[in-house]
Structure 1
Amino acid sequence: MSVNFDITETLDVKGASCPMPVVKTKSAVDDLDEGDVLEVVATDPGSMSDLDGWASGTDGVEMLDQVEEGDVYTHYVRKTE
């Protein structure tokens, strides 16, 4: 899979279950600059809805894409402010 944006940082939350992928993603996004893209790699199937819900309900972040490949779920989040 190829993405059409530059990934600034990758966060590996494989093995973590709800709510840790969201908690760790929020913490990582807080450390980014505006416009940076965080790639989040998870194994919790719930992370698809959890991270999407968090991003849509949180000012300053945008969910760019989510990809499911087998039992790995990859999320791309941009910091917008």
Structure 2
Amino acid sequence: MYYFLDLTGYACPIPLLTTKKAMTDLKKGDSLEVVLNQQSSLTDFELLAKEQGWLCEIQAVENRMIFAIP
């Protein structure tokens, strides 16, 4: 299943915490797309994905991220 979070109206750490919570609710094969604003650190999201073992595709030009459960 595909999920989408538009977090452009929030400053860190809210987007990071919201994304982490949403990811814990996903099942194998699900994906989550997250849209951020310029205030959010893409590096923090990359680190979170690595720590949790999530696949992460980042399109920094548009500040879009796609996370997937392997």
TM-score, structure 2 as length reference: 0.83
Structure with bigger helix share is 2
Question: How far apart, CA to CA, are the structure 2 residues paired with 1:62 and 1:30?
Answer: 14
Higher strand share: 1
1:14-46, CA deviations, whole angstroms, 9 ceiling, x for partnerless residues? 121111111011111112111111000010343
- 1:1-81 alignment, distance < 5 Å: 8-59=2-53, 61-63=54-56, 65-69=57-61, 72-80=62-70
Cα RMSD for the two superposed structures:
1.7
Identity %: 29
* Number of residue pairs aligned between Structure 1 and Structure 2: 70
Are the aligned partners of 1:47 and 1:73 in contact in 2 as well (CA < 8 Å)?
no
Partner Cα separation in structure 1 for residue 17 and residue 38 of structure 2: 13
Which structure 1 residue ranges, 5 or more long, are not aligned? 1-6
Whichever of the two has the greater Rg, that structure is 1
Unaligned runs of 5+ in 2: none
**Paired AA for residue 34 in structure 1:** K
